[in-house]
A and B are shown apart, each in its own frame.
Chain A
């Protein structure tokens, strides 16, 4: 049967089984026909095979037959043969090398359409060896005056260069007058070839820079010329060529001022004159924007480009919105202010139905958060977080809080929270990181532990939350029972009540072994903070010798891990953390005697990926429940006061971090972090500070007076400075310590306070 008859027959099959039967029958017939070396029907059989191959059936036994067809003198045979080769063969099969000679012959055929077949096949699937063998032929054809062949040779050369980059040089002479061609096909493929060469070789790039004026001219002609029916698409002349030229210009102008300048005008012209009612016009505009943003364009042009993207965002066509968001995301770092102007449109895109658009709008929103827009952005992003799809929640949460913490605050205190039902989205390994963050927020420990304790009274089902709460209670339980909270009404709670809660976690069915480990550890830690030591010992001995071996093991593991957290992490680039304190082999009681968590200055920006997870957890501790959370957030998070190094001498470094935590904006809360990079501890460390008369200063007690050697920990201390006249903050510090047996003293002026800390 003829090919089309076969197709019709196969399509009548009502079941997969029926189809398979037909196919098998036909294949058998084809196979025997191949075996008989039948020239007449080979073409038809291969064609049939290709159809069956598309349906998913094996056709490898036809590979050699394709080669025979290619070698045939008949055009029909060649056509099907080359198609078959492209579909059934690729460079992975050795068989395909047998094509090389045929292709070589056909490249020199008297009929251009045969040459075309050969060029096409080589240009689509030629292996490196084939390309090596035939590069010379391609190069020859690149110089022909036959535009039909020339355009194909150019693309074939692109493939050759991709496969065998060393051969690029040999095509250089042939590129000499490619752009002088009038034929759009040759022009287009030549631009593609030039682009390929320029992208691969800096030498080629410099060499071809001289083409910029010519390219500009060609582009200008395309824009200015009248209607050309042959290349017109919705009123635009050869948009494909325009786009390729724009792309080549991009590469040529990239790091070159002169080239960039030479193309400035044409870019502005394309940007302003291109018809935008259809996709094709916008495609050109888009490419123009990409080019403007990538070359060394003058600022006016850049603003023009971003405004185009801004208009794209308002386009009804979602595809256009999509590319706009993608591009804005790429430029938001470099052209931040310009992108900010389109912020509200971007935020609107959070409500788009399309997932890809939502995601991009989200990422862009994160990038746009700054001190000035935090209020509005926070609201939008939290609504988004609350209502977005599960696939988004983790990323969104991470992003939101990273954006906020990196941009607007340097410490990330965990405060004012109520709890979402989203605990299942949070990964367990974010807990240690979150604990670290809490540790850093020295000022907020009392408030944090109180809030978390209250949360436990409400709900003990969210495991990561329970773990963090347990840890906090274990660490700051003394603050809890002494009612030291300033930010809200301190609760009245006794040691026994606290221990009740923690023990409740130990026995609850809702608690995982890990959670039990945390609560057990917390109980143990409280032995150094609470007076009800006997009760604690009793609990620990029960669980320490628990039949639940896993619980016991986990308890110990958890202690170990938490101890590691308690040891100072290094500053970025600093030495490795000190090893955990050794665990006594006796009963696991009171391991944590004398080990207190040491807050340290941790460059959150450099903390890496783990932070995303902890922030993810953080996010789920927030709930969008009305205005007060925002008020609190704004009050707490000031407009991104960066930390600073106040003192750095003789191995002693003192960093200041800032908070504007309380309702009184005239009070700056500064936390000092003293670290010691020498190999001996600095003991009897005392930090004193004095401020000018118009200020008032309050120094709270330090975390310790030993600054451990080798950056193994920091001493922190909180300073509160009242600055009612909003004068520029200045401070004189006096440092005394003992180092290697000698007493040291130093006086220093601190004048480099960031303006946001006192303005």
Chain B
């Protein structure tokens, strides 16, 4: 059983900005799940807690400015630490982009993925040091510039 099944980032308008799936799921099912979940989370009021039960999973979500960060974890997981995981990811994005905002993630979505994939693997944290993760991204970016054309 995986601890984290997937992570989604979406805007208040229901636009998907990032989706990372840690279990093999059919495209059609992914679309449906995303749609359902977005609807449920966007309907939540500010006074409500950050956790909700959905299907056989627990959803942990937090809103940062215009973006919702939404993780699906197994029932028995520690929801509070999942909030910290989300927060760490936001901090990494913030450090990398310098006061990150939604637009950064829209225009540099592949970088957001690179950062996420350096931070988590299979839903688990690879490194608990912010510095370490950012350094790896930095170095990878440098490698990239050594290569040819800009995409």
Q: Is the CB of A319 within 8 A of B79?
A: yes
User: What's the Cα separation between A77 and B147 when bound, in Å?
Assistant: 9
The answer to whether A152 touches B121, judged by C-beta atoms less than 8 angstroms apart, is yes
Residues of A within 8 A of B31 (CB): 56
A75-B146, A356-B52 as given contacts; A123 in contact with B121, CB under 8 Å: yes
Whether A75 contacts B136 by the Cβ 8 Å rule is no
**A 593-616 to B, binary, CB cutoff 8 A, 1 in contact else 0:** 000000000000000000000000
- Which of A74, A79, A159, A282 sits near B140, CB closer than 8 Å? A79
Q: Is the CB of A158 within 8 A of B122?
A: yes
Cβ contact within 8 Å between B19 and A54: yes
Q: A47-B151, A279-B84, A354-B47 are in contact. Are A185 and B132 (CB under 8 A)?
A: yes
When the two chains form their complex, are residues A286 and B78 in contact, meaning their CB atoms are under 8 A apart?
Answer: yes
Is there a chain B Cβ closer than 8 Å to A410's Cβ?
no
Residues of B within 8 A of A43 (CB): 151
Q: Are B81 and A356 neighbours in the complex by a CB distance under 8 Å?
A: no
With beta carbons under 8 angstroms apart, the residue of B25, B107, B122 that contacts A124 is: B122
- A422 in the interface, Cβ–Cβ < 8 Å? no
A50 to B114, CA, bound (A): 13
B residues 100-139 touching A (CB-CB < 8 Å): 106-110, 113-114, 117-118, 121-122, 124-132, 136, 139
Rounded to whole Å, the gap between the CB of B31 and the closest CB of chain A is 7
Task: Check if B84 sits within 8 Å of A230, measured CB to CB.
Answer: no
Among the stretches A238-246, A263-271, A484-492, A524-532, the one at the interface with B is A238-246
A4 and B106 alpha carbons, distance in the complex (Å): 9
CB distance from B36 to the nearest CB of A (A): 15
* B128 and A231 form a contact (CB under 8 A): yes
Q: Check if A647 is an interface residue, CB within 8 A of chain B.
A: no
> With a CB–CB cut-off of 8 A, which chain A residues contact B81?
239-240, 243, 283-284, 286-287
The listed residue (A113, A241, A322) touching B136 by CB distance below 8 A is A113
Interface centre among B79, B121, B127, B150 (most CB of A within 10 A): B121
- Nearest chain A CB to B63's CB is how many angstroms away? 13
**A-B contacts at CB below 8 angstroms, number:** 177
What is the interface of chain B mostly: helix, strand, loop, or mixed?
mixed
Q: Would you give the shortest CB distance from A295 to chain B, in whole angstroms?
A: 15
Contacts of B148 in A (CB 8 A): 40, 74, 76
In the complex the two chains form, is A290's CB within 8 Å of B107's CB?
Answer: no
B95 within 8 A of A: no
B126 touches A318 (CB 8 A): no
B65 in the interface (beta carbon within 8 A):
no
Q: How far is the CA of A231 from the CA of B139 in the complex (A)?
A: 20
B132 CB, nearest partner CB in chain A, Å: 6
CB distance from B34 to the nearest CB of A (A): 9
Asked if A592 is an interface residue, CB under 8 A from chain B, the answer is no
Encode A44-65 as 1/0 by CB contact (under 8 A) with B.
1001001100111000000000
If A2-B151, A353-B47 touch, whether A113 touches B139 (CB-CB below 8 Å) is yes
A151 and B127 CA atoms in complex are apart in Å by: 8
Minimum CB–CB distance from A110 to chain B (whole Å) comes to 12
Residue B16 is within 8 A (CB to CB) of chain A in the complex: yes
Q: Which residues of B contact A87 (CB under 8 A)?
A: 113
Q: Which of B17, B25, B52, B79 has the most CB of A within 10 A?
A: B79
When distances are taken between beta carbons in the complex, the residues of chain B under 8 Å from A76 are 144, 147-148, 151
Instruction: Tell whether B37 is near chain A: CB-to-CB under 8 Å.
Output: no
* Inter-subunit contact A155/B126 (CB<8 Å): yes
Are A51 and B109 neighbours in the complex by a CB distance under 8 Å?
Answer: yes
Question: A151 vs B117: C-alpha distance in the bound complex, in angstroms?
Answer: 13
For B78, give the chain A residue with the smallest CB separation.
A287
A646 proximal to B (CB < 8 A): no
Q: Does B83 contact A (CB under 8 A)?
A: yes
Is the CB of A116 closer than 8 A to any CB of chain B? yes
Q: Is A357 an interface residue (CB 8 A)?
A: yes
Q: Are A75 and B140 in contact (CB under 8 A)?
A: yes
Considering the chains assembled together, what is the distance between the CA atoms of A747 and B109 in angstroms?
A: 86
Q: Contact string, A180-209, partner B, CB cutoff 8 A, digits 1/0?
A: 000011001100100000000000000000
Would you call A323 an interface residue if the criterion is a C-beta within 8 Å of the partner chain's C-beta atoms? yes
Q: How far is the CA of A611 from the CA of B18 in the complex (A)?
A: 46
- Check B143 against A111 for contact (C-beta < 8 Å): yes
**Counting CB contacts under 8 A, is B85 at the interface?**
yes
**Looking at B53, B113, B132, B151, which has the most chain A CB atoms within 10 Å of its CB?**
B151
The 8 A CB mask of B23-67 against A (1 = contact, 0 = none) is: 011100001000000000000010111111100000000000000
Q: Is A120 an interface residue (CB 8 A)?
A: yes
Chain A residues with CB under 8 Å of B140's CB are: 75, 79, 113
Mark A429-454 against chain B: 1 for CB-CB distance below 8 A, else 0. 00000000000000000000000000
The yes or no answer to A342 lying at the interface (CB within 8 A) is no
Mark contacts of B76-90 with chain A using CB atoms, 8 A cut-off: 1 yes-contact digit, 0 otherwise.
001111011100100
Minimal Cβ-Cβ distance residue in B for A230: B129
Known A-B contacts A162-B2, A286-B78, A287-B78; A2 and B150 likewise in contact (beta carbons under 8 Å): yes
Q: Mask for A144-168, Cβ within 8 A of B = 1, else 0?
A: 0000100110011011001000000
Residue of A whose beta carbon sits closest to that of B82: A283
Q: Which residue of A lies closest to B50 (CB)?
A: A319
Q: Is the CB of A47 within 8 A of B110?
A: yes
Given contacts A116-B136, A287-B78, contact A189 B144 (CB under 8 A): no
Q: CB of A125 within 8 A of chain B?
A: yes
Q: Collect the chain A residues with CB atoms within 8 Å of residue B130's CB.
A: 230
Closest A residue to B85 using CB positions: A240
Q: What string of 1s and 0s marks CB contacts (under 8 Å) between A356-381 and chain B?
A: 11000000000000000000000000
Residues of A within 8 A of B85 (CB): 240
| C-alpha gap A282/B142 in the complex (Å) | 39
Say yes or no: is B22 at the interface (Cβ < 8 Å to chain A).
yes
- From A83, A321, A323, contact of B110 by CB (8 A): A83
Contact B146 A240 (CB under 8 A): no
User: Shortest distance in angstroms between B80's beta carbon and chain A's nearest beta carbon?
Assistant: 4
Q: What distance in Å separates the Cβ of B112 from its nearest Cβ neighbour in chain A?
A: 11
Residues of chain A in range 241-300 having any CB-CB distance to chain B below 8 Å: 241, 243, 247, 279-280, 282-284, 286-287, 290
| 30 A-B contacts (beta carbon < 8 Å) | A4-B107, A7-B106, A47-B110, A54-B17, A54-B18, A75-B143, A75-B146, A79-B110, A83-B110, A124-B122, A125-B24, A152-B121, A155-B124, A156-B121, A185-B127, A185-B128, A189-B124, A189-B125, A189-B126, A230-B132, A231-B129, A239-B84, A279-B84, A283-B84, A318-B47, A319-B79, A319-B80, A322-B49, A354-B49, A355-B48
Apart from A56-B31, A79-B114, 13 more pairs, CB < 8 Å:
A2-B150, A3-B151, A8-B107, A76-B147, A76-B148, A90-B25, A116-B136, A124-B121, A156-B121, A320-B80, A322-B49, A353-B47, A354-B47
Q: Which A-B residue pairs are the 3 nearest by beta carbons?
A: A185-B127, A283-B80, A44-B151
Question: Which of A's residues lie within 8 Å of B, judged by CB?
Answer: 2-4, 7-8, 11, 40, 43-44, 47, 50-51, 54-56, 74-77, 79-80, 83, 86-87, 90-92, 111, 113, 116, 119-120, 123-125, 148, 151-152, 155-156, 158-159, 162, 184-185, 188-189, 192, 230-231, 233, 238-241, 243, 247, 279-280, 282-284, 286-287, 290, 318-323, 353-357
